[in-house]
Amino acid sequence: MNKVIAIIITLLLTACGGGSGGSDGQSQTPSSTTNTTTTTTQSTTNTDTQAQTTTEEQAAEEQITEETNSEEGMEAVVVDESFDFQTDVPVSVSIGPDVVSSRAFINICQQDATLTNEDTCFLRAPIDSNGLTVQILLPHSEQKLKAEIWYYSTSIEPLVYNWEFDATVQQQEWKIN
49-66: per-residue pLDDT in tens? 555 556 677 766 666 655
Q: What is the pLDDT of residue 69?
A: 54
Count CB-CB contacts under 10 A for residue 71: 9
Of 75, 109, 129, the residue at which a domain comes to its end is 75
Domain presence at residue 145: yes
Least Cα distance to 128 among 154, 163, 102 occurs for: 102
Is the pLDDT assigned to residue 174 strictly greater than 50?
yes
Kindly state the average pLDDT of the residues 87-97: 93
Where in the sequence is the domain holding 153, given as residue range(s)? 89-176
Q: What is the pLDDT of residue 49?
A: 52
Grouping H, G, I as helix, E, B as strand and the rest as coil, residue 69 is helix
Q: What is the pLDDT of residue 9?
A: 82
Average pLDDT over all residues of the chain: 78
pLDDT-based confidence at residue 34 (cuts at 50, 70, 90): very low
Q: What is the pLDDT of residue 38?
A: 45
The whole-angstrom separation of Cα 108 and Cα 137 is 11
Kindly state the average pLDDT of the residues 129-134: 94
Write the DSSP symbol of residue 18: T
Domain presence at residue 128: yes
pLDDT-based confidence at residue 176 (cuts at 50, 70, 90): very high
Shared domain for 97 and 170, answered yes or no, is yes
93-124: per-residue pLDDT in tens? 999 998 998 899 999 999 988 777 788 899 99
Q: Count structural domains, the chain.
A: 2
Shared domain for 23 and 59, answered yes or no, is yes
**Burial class of 136 by CB neighbour count within 10 A (0 to 12, 13 to 18, 19+):** middle
Q: How far is CA 63 from the centre of its chain?
A: 26
Of 46, 75, 104, the residue at which a domain comes to its end is 75
Of 24, 40, 75, the residue at which a domain comes to its end is 75
Shared domain for 147 and 120, answered yes or no, is yes
Domain presence at residue 84: no
Shared domain for 164 and 122, answered yes or no, is yes
Grouping H, G, I as helix, E, B as strand and the rest as coil, residue 161 is strand
Domain presence at residue 83: no
* Strands of 172-176's sheet in order across: 132-138, 89-95, 172-176
Percent of the chain past pLDDT 90, that is, above it, reads 37
Shared domain for 62 and 135, answered yes or no, is no
